[in-house]
């Protein structure tokens, strides 16, 4: 029975390994982490099947007859068996710990040459992500990476604790107000993915997402050139209202058809913005509790946008909302 339980665990773990339970691997870190996961999962399957098999066998083999009302015979134990069931789990736990530590160290290692990797600053705020590319002097609401290039993400938060996670990359890290945390990613597969906040951070937590694009070398260089061209055309100090709307996370809470957002945490901007003066719109952004729309609660929208956004960005955002509202009157 022990052999049957052992074989059952091996078969169960082996079958599970070949079933695509997990998201696609899109980073070198995902390969390391998945290796640890399956190592632990197969050990657990084997141990569970073995214990379950022994328990079933013992319950059947040593069951008392229906008319036997006596207590069981006292036994001292089995020293050899006790040594085995102490030593084997100890070895397995140590093996899992060592493999996990090695995998984590490999996952967080960067090349010695700073020119071989990129650093991106990630800022979390209720309820949006923003990404600053220091080398490009650019901030965006989308994370854009070059395939096969290591990137160090420096994370912080403006308000409460958030957590950065892209399932296909596997690496997960908290973004904490007042301190900087870090994680490393080396994307290996071109495509589009989602950044998901995995720390309950308020009413907008379910929709706190951002796009991730992993580009080829040529496409990445084109994206960089496009940003430089846009900055040159826009002029110093100018801001694009639609970009500010996206980067500030407005679409995470508000519906606005022009921006393609359909969130329902805050008022529908397509309904409340038309007819308002620019000063009313600005006040609703920098002092959201000044006037609460019917059916909504105070203290949900952060009140620090005047600190987060520059005067030019606020003006651009207000102008964008006025323009969109004017188009819908």
**Tens digit of each residue's pLDDT (9 = 90 or more) over 176-203:** 999 999 999 999 999 999 999 999 988 8
- What is the model's pLDDT at position 241? 84
| pLDDT value, residue 166 | 96
Per-residue HEC secondary structure of the chain comes to CHHHHHHHHHHHHHHHHCCCCCCCCCEHHHHHHHHHHHHHHHHHHHHHHHHHHHHHHHHHHCCCCCCCCCCCCCCCCCHHHHHHHHHHHHHHHHHHHHHHHHHHHHHCCCCCCHHHCEEEEEEEECCEEEEEECCCCEEECCEEEECCCCEEEEEEECCCCEEEECCCCCCEEEECECCCEEEEECECCCEEEEEEECCCCCCCHHHCEEEEEEECHHHHHHHHHHHHHHHHHHCCCCCCHHHHHHHCCHHHCCEEHHHCEECCCCCCHHHHCCCCCHHHHHHHHHCCCCCCCCCCCCCCCCCCHHHHCCHHHHHHHHHHHHHHHHHHC
Mean pLDDT of 16-45: 86
For residues 40-69, give the mean pLDDT.
84
Structure confidence by residue, pLDDT tens digits, 139-185 = 888 899 999 999 999 999 988 999 999 999 999 999 999 999 999 99
Question: pTM of the predicted model, to two decimals?
Answer: 0.73
Assigned token pair, 119: 């650093």
pLDDT tens-digit series, residues 254-280 = 888 888 887 778 888 888 888 888 888
Res 235 pLDDT > 60: no
What is the pLDDT, as a whole number, of residue 255?
86
Answer yes or no: are the C-beta atoms of 191 and 215 closer than 8 Å: no
pLDDT at 159: 86
Q: What is the pLDDT of residues 298-310, one digit of tens each?
A: 877 777 788 777 8
What is the rounded CA–CA span in Å between residue 201 and residue 15? 38
* Gyration radius from the chain CA atoms: 28
Domains of the chain: 2-62+81-107 (no CATH), 114-234 (2.60.40.420), 241-328 (1.10.760.10)
């Amino acid at each position: 029975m022990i052999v049957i339980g052992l074989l059952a665990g091996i078969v169960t773990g082996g079958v599970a390994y070949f079933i695509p339970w997990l998201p696609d691997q899109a980073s070198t870190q995902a390969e390391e982490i998945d290796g640890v996961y399956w190592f632990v999962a197969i050990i657990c399957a084997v141990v569970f099947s073995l214990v379950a098999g022994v328990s079933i066998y013992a319950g059947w083999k040593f069951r008392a007859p229906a008319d036997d009302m006596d207590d069981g015979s006292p036994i001292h134990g089995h020293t050899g068996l006790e040594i085995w069931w102490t030593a084997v789990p100890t070895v397995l736990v140590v093996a899992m710990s060592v493999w996990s530590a090695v995998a984590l160290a490999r996952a967080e290692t960067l090349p010695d040459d700073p020119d071989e990797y990129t650093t991106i600053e990630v800022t979390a705020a209720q309820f949006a992500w923003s990404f600053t590319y220091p080398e490009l002097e650019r901030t965006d609401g989308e994370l854009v990476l070059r395939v096969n290039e290591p990137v160090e993400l420096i994370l912080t938060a403006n308000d409460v604790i958030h957590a950065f996670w892209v399932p296909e990359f596997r690496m997960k890290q908290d973004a904490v107000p007042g301190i900087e945390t870090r994680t490393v990613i080396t994307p290996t597969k071109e495509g589009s993915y989602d950044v998901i906040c995995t720390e309950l951070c308020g009413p907008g937590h379910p929709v706190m997402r951002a796009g991730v694009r992993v580009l080829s070398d040529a496409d990445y260089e084109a994206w960089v050139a496009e940003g430089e061209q846009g900055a040159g055309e826009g002029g110093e100090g100018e801001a694009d209202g639609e970009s500010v709307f996206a980067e500030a996370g407005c679409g995470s809470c508000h519906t606005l058809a022009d921006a393609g957002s359909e969130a329902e945490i805050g008022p529908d901007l397509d309904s409340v913005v038309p007819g308002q003066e620019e000063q009313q719109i600005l006040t609703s952004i920098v002092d959201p509790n000044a006037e609460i729309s019917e059916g909504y609660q105070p203290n949900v929208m952060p009140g620090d946008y005047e600190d987060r956004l520059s005067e030019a960005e606020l003006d651009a955002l207000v102008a964008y909302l006025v323009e969109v509202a004017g188009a819908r009157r």
